[in-house]
Chain A
Amino acid sequence: MLSREWPLPFFKGMRMKKKNYLQMLLMVLASLVIGLGSNYFSRKPLPLFREMPAAAPAVSVSGFSEADVDFVRQFSADPGIVLLDARTVENFEHGHIPGAASLPISRFDEFFPHLQERLRAARMLIVYCSGWTCPDSHELALRLFQKGLKVLFLYKGGMEDWLEKGNAVEK
């Protein structure tokens, strides 16, 4: 059926009939019903529309509290607080926030056992990665949370913000 149309322009071959659109619509509707329905009846339903961030400025979408640069500067020298760098070891060695420990997300299982004791003894953990958009600090916070560590702060601005505000780095 289709091959007969072939010398015609490329898009002819892609043409869908009304029937096809109807079938696609049905598939989409079915997944909507099943997806939302299973969520509704689930033991831990997810909220369909999350709160807008503006409604809860101090808490990030992930549910971790956020630390800003002043917060980090204030506590970076405190021995009870551990700053964790989620970036790679190479990046860490190239320059990090003074006092931070390296816990690269890509080698979490390898690094975590060595730091475990110190992290569990700490009063608070602050994690960061390269800047505003990197997901590593968030992932690291999640992994730590799964390990049972509780007082976690995300420094979302990370190295980018730290340098922008004219702070020193340690190598």
Chain B
Amino acid sequence: MLLRNKIAPILSARPLQVLARLFLGGIFIYASLDKIAHPQEFAGIVANYGILPDFLITMPALVLPWLELIAGLCLVSGLWVRSAAFLLSLLLLVFILALGFNAARGIDLSCGCFSSTVADKENIYMLIFRDLLFLLPGLLIIFFYREKKGS
């Protein structure tokens, strides 16, 4: 009851929702640009994750950045908000699993999160933590976004 009466209204308040939308959408738009510009390098990074078989590398490398951009634009512009947030949260979940899989194997790889340069390396546990943080605004939107009537 406390959740329904006290917390839920705060979490679904419009300023907070707008902030979550702009934050998550902005991050994904920013993240997609370098990868869209350098598909070949990004394909190399996807290959380094060592999860997909070699012949299946190109497809996600070409399509994922566009999906990030489109869903990010949806979030920022306020169109199809819950669907876009759900999609991006799913993507984050996939990224977290892929990073976690490699952390467990002890491989320290370049993330390919925000750039397509292999030399950009960060601690893999920090990357997982960061993705988990990004998941928060996603969940906030999925659970508490209230669609305008008639849309």
Contact = CB atoms under 8 A, between A and B. Distances in A.
Main secondary structure of the interface of B (DSSP, over half): helix
A24 B54 contact: no
A49 B63 CA distance: 14
Interface string A4-28: 1011000001101001110110011
Contacts of B118: 135, 139, 142
A40 B143 CA distance: 39
A49 B56 contact: yes
Contact of A52 (B1, B55, B67, B87): B55
A27 B71 contact: yes
B133 interface: no
A4 B143 CA distance: 11
Interface string B20-64: 000000000000000010011001100110100011111101111
A46 B148 CA distance: 43
Contacts, number: 125
A27 B80 CA distance: 10
B72 to A, nearest CB: 10
B86 interface: yes
A32 interface: yes
B82 A35 contact: no
B135 to A, nearest CB: 13
A143 interface: yes
B63 A35 contact: yes
A129 B48 CA distance: 14
A24 B107 contact: no
Given A23-B80, A27-B83, A52-B54, A32 B63 contact: yes
Nearest to B56: A49
A49 B58 CA distance: 7
Contacts of B59: 36, 48-49
B96 to A, nearest CB: 17
Contacts of B3: 6-7
B86 A24 contact: yes
A108 interface: yes
Contacts of A16: 82-83, 86
B95 interface: no
B134 interface: no
B39 to A, nearest CB: 6
A39 B62 contact: yes
A53 B65 CA distance: 26
B84 interface: yes
A134 B119 CA distance: 14
B144 interface: yes
B86 A3 contact: no
9 contacts: A3-B4, A4-B4, A19-B83, A35-B66, A36-B63, A50-B54, A51-B54, A53-B54, A105-B119
Given A19-B83, A27-B80, A61-B47, 9 more contacts: A13-B142, A23-B84, A27-B74, A31-B69, A36-B59, A39-B62, A138-B48, A139-B118, A143-B119
